[in-house]
Structure 1
Amino acid sequence: MAKSKFEQSLEDGAHQQIKSLVGSWKGTSKTWFEKDVLVDESPTEAEISSILDCRFISYDYRSSLERKPLAGKMIIGFDIPYQKFTFSWIDSFHMGTQIMQATGDATENGFSILGSWGNPEYGDQLFGWRTELQIISNDEIVFLAYNIMPGEEETKALETILTRVI
């Protein structure tokens, strides 16, 4: 019997790639609010777990920003029909009470996805937010995030380097 597209992806495709991330991670997060001005560097702990037989993964992290605790969650998946990586992201700092949806393409060693966020206090235009995952090895990953102000070039906002604990 032929394998389903999901079974094939889980064996040697995008779902195999995200499944390989399941585990416990520790590292460091850096935050920038302005170009080239590092605001904070804090320890980070993360747990990546499988959801629905690895159709998705949950990336749950805890860190701090300027000594104030923060936590977040990304539900990450790969949309087989559209051949795109996707995520939904919430956290206690950047997103407030919003949920960001993002989608994008595979890269050589992970993905690059683009979402947007806004607030009527800042006007009608939405800000862009590009997130990259770089899988350096089985035991090291890097999340990078870039803020895109309306009409401006993107600037690095976050860099989280994680090493597998378990």
Structure 2
Amino acid sequence: MTKITLEESQAERGAHHRLALMVGDWEGTTKVWFRPDELADESPCHGTIRLALGGRFVIHEYEGTLQGKPISGLYILGAHLDEARYQQAWIDTFHMGTGILFSLGDEGSTSGDFRVLGSYGDGEGHRWGWRTVVTIPGSDQLIITHYNIPPEIGEIKAVETVYHRRPRPQG
């Protein structure tokens, strides 16, 4: 098996090229569910995604509200070439408290989506899963969907952000 270089991954079909497609300023709507099929909140949001460390990673910083209260967050997404998998570290002012959620995913997805899975503790000794899927349906749209995975219940859609690229200033 041949190892791929960063430069090769940044080429047209590589994982780092796909990461770079997310770079930009975004605005959209975030929906939140605390229970299946019961929308708890829908509010505007905005975010910025930029390359970091020579295109090795993207950093997504975002802000919005949840039930009228401000929230903000940041995640770093990368493609680990030696392990052929995506990696993500996520922090925010609502879900994670003072923790960092680390997630891993198979880079081999043929869909072009970024899919990672992590877990967090519920404070009572149980681990819950948290799956994140980033989809790029077009050059000016980005969809980030999070699924909560409670023990013994299964996956539940928890958060969905639908972004549209902000127009670039003329001038």
1:38 paired residue number? 39
- Give the superposed CA RMSD: 1.3
Q: Distance in 1 between matches of 2:133 and 2:88?
A: 11
2:73 paired residue number? 72
2:56 paired residue number? 55
1:111 paired residue number? 114
TM-score (norm: length of structure 2)? 0.91
Structure 1 gaps of 5+ residues are none
Q: How far does the alpha carbon of each residue in 1:97-132 deviate from its partner, in whole angstroms, 9 at most, with x for none?
A: 000000112430311110001133xx2220000000
Q: Distance in 2 between matches of 1:34 and 1:47?
A: 29
Q: Distance in 2 between matches of 1:74 and 1:59?
A: 5
One-letter amino acid of the structure 1 residue matched with residue 127 of structure 2: L
After TM superposition, give the deviation of residue 142 of structure 1 in Å: 0.3
1:7 paired residue number? 7
- Does structure 1 retain, via aligned residues, the 8 Å contact 2:43–2:65? yes
Q: Within 5 Å, give how 1:83-162 maps onto structure 2.
A: 83-106=84-107, 107=109, 108-120=111-123, 123-162=124-163
Q: Distance in 1 between matches of 2:145 and 2:122?
A: 23
- Does structure 2 retain, via aligned residues, the 8 Å contact 1:109–1:136? no
- The number of residue pairs the alignment matches comes to 162
After TM superposition, give the deviation of residue 20 of structure 1 in Å: 1.5
Q: How far does the alpha carbon of each residue in 1:11-46 deviate from its partner, in whole angstroms, 9 at most, with x for none?
A: 130000111111100000000000000000000100
Identity %: 39
Q: Distance in 2 between matches of 1:83 and 1:131?
A: 18
1:164 paired residue number? 165
Q: Distance in 2 between matches of 1:58 and 1:41?
A: 24
Structure 2 gaps of 5+ residues are none
More helix by share: 1
Tell me, what secondary structure is at the counterpart of 1:98?
coil
- Does structure 2 retain, via aligned residues, the 8 Å contact 1:102–1:115? yes
- Structure 1 moving runs of 4+ over 2 Å: none
